[in-house]
Structure 1
Amino acid sequence: MAHVSPKPDLQQQLRDVRQAVGSTRVFLQNLYEERFGSIDSSRKGHAPSFDDASPLQLVIPPSFHTQVQQCQLSPRAQDILLQKLHKIQDDYSEEFQMSCRKLAQTSFPQLLPVLPRIMTQLRDGLQSPFQTKDFPHYGKGQGIRGETSALRIPTPPPPRQSSIPAYEA
């Protein structure tokens, strides 16, 4: 008859597994903290909130307002221009808030410590066109002129004068 070896104690096997899992957890946590920094137990599962971050405040440079006044626009044209500028400011502010929320919802823990710096860079990047030399030049480049210059709509090119049909050319 074959010799049957006694079964090892089931409780002992469970203790061994529990000990292996515990030591593996400690090893992996140490490895993680060595690579990415310590895990703050109070922030586990809690992404930083940027809902209360100060809203983006875009300021139109005074030089742009001076250029607009020099153009001698009608009151209606000035109102339209101001409405467009306010819409641009609102769009930029909304984009900033949406980007902040999306970044705050990141699932990459290594990104969390640098989020404030990223938010500052995003804020500066959105504000820079309004505060640098670029924005005042928009008036010149886009042709802010007095009422005497009408809006020019480009005319379509004249038809071809060729005897060869276009699909054969």
Structure 2
Amino acid sequence: MKCNNLFKSCLVSLAFILFVTSTAMSGQKKISVRVDGLSCPFCAFGLEKKLKSIEGVEKIEIKVNDGLAILAFKDGANVDEKIIKQKVKEAGFTPGAINPISTIEKKVNGDKIELSIKGMSCESCVKRVTDALNKINCVNNIVVDLQGEKASFICTDTKFDKTKFVKAVDDLGFEAALEKK
């Protein structure tokens, strides 16, 4: 009898865990998928075509240099990892980790800083700029716009020397300047 009750308890616990997990995944709006084997825009096009066939996918961004596919889902869409991995395989690639992406920026008080940046040419440049700015303690909510040639972020230290932001980006080989407000 004890064994039967233990079995029922385990079964109920497992059902609860599965419910919580599926609810958490279905509530996600954006996910990143590691894709091994991406090497060119043609590869990205083939992958995007397969991923677009997944029900509920609203927008896809393929980052060839980073080996990532970012999928944005419609509200209420079910995110099924098995289907995503299957579509990546059908496109001829090896699927890796699938991770949720927080679409909620943390609310931070401070100065909004904008830098114009010349010389960025790809997503790798964007990542390098983002990483360099992230190393500065007071920097939060970084958005680097490749086409717009700029970066914007919040600096929580109002007394911080703003020219250090320019130097951090210039040291990467780009030309940065503080935007006038």
TM-score (norm 2): 0.23
Structure with more of its chain in strand, by fraction: 2
Larger Rg: 1
